[in-house]
Chain A
Amino acid sequence: MKKIIVFTFIVLIGSVALGQGVTQMNKLPSVNIKTLDGQPFNTSQIQNDGKPIVISFWALWCKPCKKEMEAYNENYEDWQQQTGVKIYAVSIDDARSTQKVLPFVRGHDWQMTVLLDPNGDFKRAMNVNLIPHTFLLDGNGKIVYQHTSYYEGMEDEFFELIKKVAAGEDIAKH
């Protein structure tokens, strides 16, 4: 029976995948996670009035992630003025350090909107294997670009993409 279900599933996915643009994520999955101070938050509430959105997965134990967030934080004011972009920094720290995220974020004076995903539910729904993993959404909430890893200086190129998205350009070929 299980084999049949799996087989049906694969056929279904196969036929869907033949259709155009199905791997394009047009709408964020609806997952219950938490705000920085622990209030329930559904990920379908992520929005920015038609302007670009960045969703970046990070954790306190991940050094490159924290570097990436620091780099975004340093440029955030600038980026917001130019493009109106809003950054959501989703921490996947588990119960060991979920409560440490708030004092860390305030202590480092991060300006981004920080969300907590302590059991990785949003991470799984977004198919994130490794962190850092960053998504760029256009004004309609469609994912137009994503990348994993962070290298020194990557934020400059990323901002060029944000600008293009804010201007309504198609960045599919990047």
Chain B
Amino acid sequence: MKKSILALFVLILIATGANAQFSEMIKKSEVHGSFEFDGAYYLPDDAMGITDSMINGRNFAFNGFGNIIYTLGKFSAGLRYEAYLPPIAGFDAKLEGQGIPYLWAKYTSEKFTFTVGNFYEQFGMGLTFRTYEEWSLGYDNSMNGARITYEPVKGLIMKAVYGSQRFYWAKWKPNSRGIVKGFDAELDFNQVFKSMENSKVRLIIGGSAVSKYQSDLDPIYKLPRNVSNLGGRFSLGIGNFNIASEYAWKVNDPSAINKYIYKDGDAFIFTLSYSTKGFGFFGMFKRLDNMSYKSDRTVISNALDINFLPPNTEIHSYMLTAIYPYATQPNGEIGFQLQINYKIPRKSKLGGKYGMGISVNYSQVNNIDRQQVNDTTPVSDLKWESGTLGWTSPFFKFGKPVFWQDMNIEINKKFSKKFKAIFKYMYQTYDIAVLQGHPGEPTIYANIALVDMTYKFNSKNALRWEAQGFWSQQDKGSWLALLLEYTISPHWFFAFSNQYNYGNPVAKDQIHYYNLSFGYTRRTSRIALTYGRQREGIVCVGGVCRQVPAANGFTVTITSSF
């Protein structure tokens, strides 16, 4: 049956191929795509304690995808093929396999857009709904269903979504993961109302309602099958000031993450910025209280999230500033962030010929303050009782412990046409017991300093070097790191780096994590080859993290798009 349908399709295609209309259609069509292969070859390493039996014959690992988009006027369709054969160390074992997890078709008219199949979408800041993919984490919570976007007038956008979410390679079945539906509307006053067209006040408001349905098969608890999450937001700009805020409220949603409590959840984000030529200020306040929202309440891993809980900490990209990155605590956290960017003007005393950039950032995240909701429900800072109302918590009170603290200053200076440098100092507090789930381990306090210098020999050749130090008494102790990178524009790079854990309290773990790499880029194609050691740790994007095991070996990355 299937074969005959297939044959019919091919026949129709060939027949229409002769048709003039079809060739006209082909002329107007466009095809674009991209692909990436990440391969690894693992080697045993005595110093890191990696033996042949641990590798267990899985010396090769491979993650790859190919993405194709077809466009014909207002119609477009696409697919993404993925393969994890087997997945690279640190990616979820459930990814092993291959297939097409992303297949979609879209039609766009002046006021409507219809999408069927898989899609990514975000409502506001994402506190009620966000689906996205992050290749470097192996994360993908795409919806599989339908979406309609409607824009009746310019500046008013309404969206409706319906479907189930991706869970690795598992097909959706009744009584498994839930079904998600959502609606969002956003109104831009300055575009909709003529009287505000040239106003100095810029106002946008939005609201969303999301609901999930999952059947209740729990043997102990009677669980809500429908759980809704409602959100409201606004963004206001007056002159150089900008304020953006979002609040979301979720009805009780007992789950494996919150240990099955019947407490409502809420989340609040408030940001304020002031900026003028050469000066920028940013402030943020954020509070999450029992806000994990997944389409399967039994899942605790990084999957099936319906909403997105952005961290309020800075993202660090230097080697030693990124040893201990922040992971969002969906059961409760309260924190803030302050940042100042200032550019000391050119031709001033400090600024010199090219000016000098200064950036100061402070962020802190605490636990929320948990108090007893009634006399019969015991609660402590990080413990509560399943099957209860959980806790109650004063909205603006910072609780114990401090999960995270980060004070850093970065100075950016160009000394001449050929030479520039970045200096950075950072002080970090990191509650490893909570953030990495290692109960009993002491909180880490660290001082980090680094310098990043670039010397340009001529318009094509440049050398960059980094020297970094990380000083701490806790966990793995202190580190030193060095990086040398030589680039020949526009095609080549060669790099050597070494991270030396000289202060590790365990003498045999005072290891050099060296790496040698080179790469070639031409237009949108890039190949990079690395040999060396990878330290154990976590990689985080947007507060979502993945454990990376220690490894030694070769990795190759090939990427291209057309």
Chain A residues with a Cβ under 8 A of chain B? 2-9, 11-13, 15-17, 19, 22-27, 29-30, 32, 37-40, 60-63, 94-100, 102-109, 118-121, 124-125, 127-130, 133, 145-149, 151-154, 156-157
Interface residues of B in 120-150 (CB under 8 A from A): 120-122, 125-126, 130, 132-133, 135, 149
Min CB distance B95 to A, Å, is 18
B496 within 8 A of A: no
Given the complex, which residues of A lie within 8 Å of B125, measured CB to CB?
95, 98
Would you call B26 and A23 a contact (CB within 8 A)? no
Interface residues of B in 75-97 (CB under 8 A from A): 76-77, 79
Pull 27 A–B residue pairs with CB atoms less than 8 Å apart, ordered by A: A2-B100, A6-B100, A16-B70, A22-B30, A23-B31, A25-B30, A38-B242, A39-B188, A40-B191, A61-B317, A94-B310, A95-B542, A99-B244, A99-B271, A100-B282, A103-B242, A103-B282, A106-B280, A107-B341, A127-B561, A146-B524, A149-B519, A151-B489, A151-B493, A156-B459, A157-B489, A157-B490
Given the complex, which residues of A lie within 8 Å of B242, measured CB to CB?
37-38, 99, 102-103
Would you call A151 and B488 a contact (CB within 8 A)? yes
- Beyond contacts A61-B315, A157-B459: 18 other A-B pairs, Cβ-Cβ < 8 A, are A15-B13, A19-B23, A37-B242, A38-B235, A39-B202, A39-B204, A94-B542, A100-B339, A103-B339, A104-B282, A104-B341, A106-B240, A109-B343, A121-B120, A125-B69, A129-B36, A149-B526, A152-B456
Chain B interface residue count: which class? 35 or more
Would you call A95 and B122 a contact (CB within 8 A)? yes
Given the complex, which residues of A lie within 8 Å of B559, measured CB to CB?
129-130, 148
C-beta contact mask, B520-562 vs A, less than 8 Å → 1, else 0? 0101111000000000000000110000000000000001111
Instruction: Give complex CA distance A124, B274 in Å.
Output: 31
Given the complex, which residues of A lie within 8 Å of B276, measured CB to CB?
106
Given the complex, which residues of A lie within 8 Å of B339, measured CB to CB?
100, 103
B174 within 8 A of A: no
**Residue with the highest number of chain B CB atoms closer than 10 Å, among A62, A95, A119, A147:** A95
Closest B residue by C-beta to A97: B315
Q: Which of B3-11, B44-52, B212-220 lines the interface with chain A?
A: B3-11
Given the complex, which residues of A lie within 8 Å of B278, measured CB to CB?
107-109
Instruction: Give complex CA distance A49, B550 in Å.
Output: 54
B308 within 8 A of A: yes
Min CB distance A20 to B, Å, is 8
- A37 with B202: in contact, given A11-B10, A147-B521 (CB under 8 Å)? yes
Given the complex, which residues of A lie within 8 Å of B351, measured CB to CB?
none
Min CB distance A43 to B, Å, is 12
Min CB distance B186 to A, Å, is 7
Given the complex, which residues of A lie within 8 Å of B308, measured CB to CB?
94-95
B279 within 8 A of A: yes
Q: Which 9 A-B pairs have the closest CB atoms?
A: A107-B280, A103-B280, A107-B341, A152-B462, A106-B275, A96-B310, A119-B122, A127-B34, A151-B489
Would you call B70 and A12 a contact (CB within 8 A)? yes
Min CB distance A78 to B, Å, is 15
Min CB distance B307 to A, Å, is 10
Instruction: Give complex CA distance A127, B67 in Å.
Output: 8
Chain B residues with a Cβ under 8 A of chain A? 2, 5-6, 9-10, 13, 17, 23, 26-27, 29-34, 36, 67-71, 76-77, 79, 100, 103, 108, 120-122, 125-126, 130, 132-133, 135, 149, 155, 157, 186, 188, 190-191, 202, 204, 235, 237, 240, 242, 244, 271, 273-282, 284, 308, 310-312, 315, 317, 339, 341-343, 357, 454, 456, 458-462, 464, 487-490, 493, 519, 521, 523-526, 542-543, 559-562
Min CB distance A46 to B, Å, is 16
Closest A residue by C-beta to B456: A152
Instruction: Give complex CA distance A136, B544 in Å.
Output: 34
Would you call A154 and B524 a contact (CB within 8 A)? no
Would you call A103 and B31 a contact (CB within 8 A)? no
Name the one of A24, A62, A106 contacting B277, with C-beta atoms under 8 angstroms: A106
Given the complex, which residues of A lie within 8 Å of B77, measured CB to CB?
9
Given the complex, which residues of A lie within 8 Å of B458, measured CB to CB?
153
Instruction: Give complex CA distance A3, B81 in Å.
Output: 13
- A133 with B26: in contact, given A9-B70, A11-B13, A108-B341 (CB under 8 Å)? no
Instruction: Give complex CA distance A19, B28 in Å.
Output: 10
- A147 with B120: in contact, given A39-B188, A103-B273 (CB under 8 Å)? no
Name the one of B9, B34, B274 contacting A4, with C-beta atoms under 8 angstroms: B9
Closest B residue by C-beta to A119: B122
Given the complex, which residues of B lie within 8 Å of A24, measured CB to CB?
30
Would you call A26 and B30 a contact (CB within 8 A)? yes
Instruction: Give complex CA distance A124, B108 in Å.
Output: 17
Would you call A108 and B155 a contact (CB within 8 A)? no
Given the complex, which residues of B lie within 8 Å of A103, measured CB to CB?
242, 273-275, 280-282, 339, 341
Instruction: Give complex CA distance A129, B202 in Å.
Output: 34
- A22 with B26: in contact, given A29-B71, A130-B526 (CB under 8 Å)? yes
Given the complex, which residues of B lie within 8 Å of A40, measured CB to CB?
155, 157, 186, 188, 191
Given the complex, which residues of A lie within 8 Å of B282, measured CB to CB?
99-100, 103-104
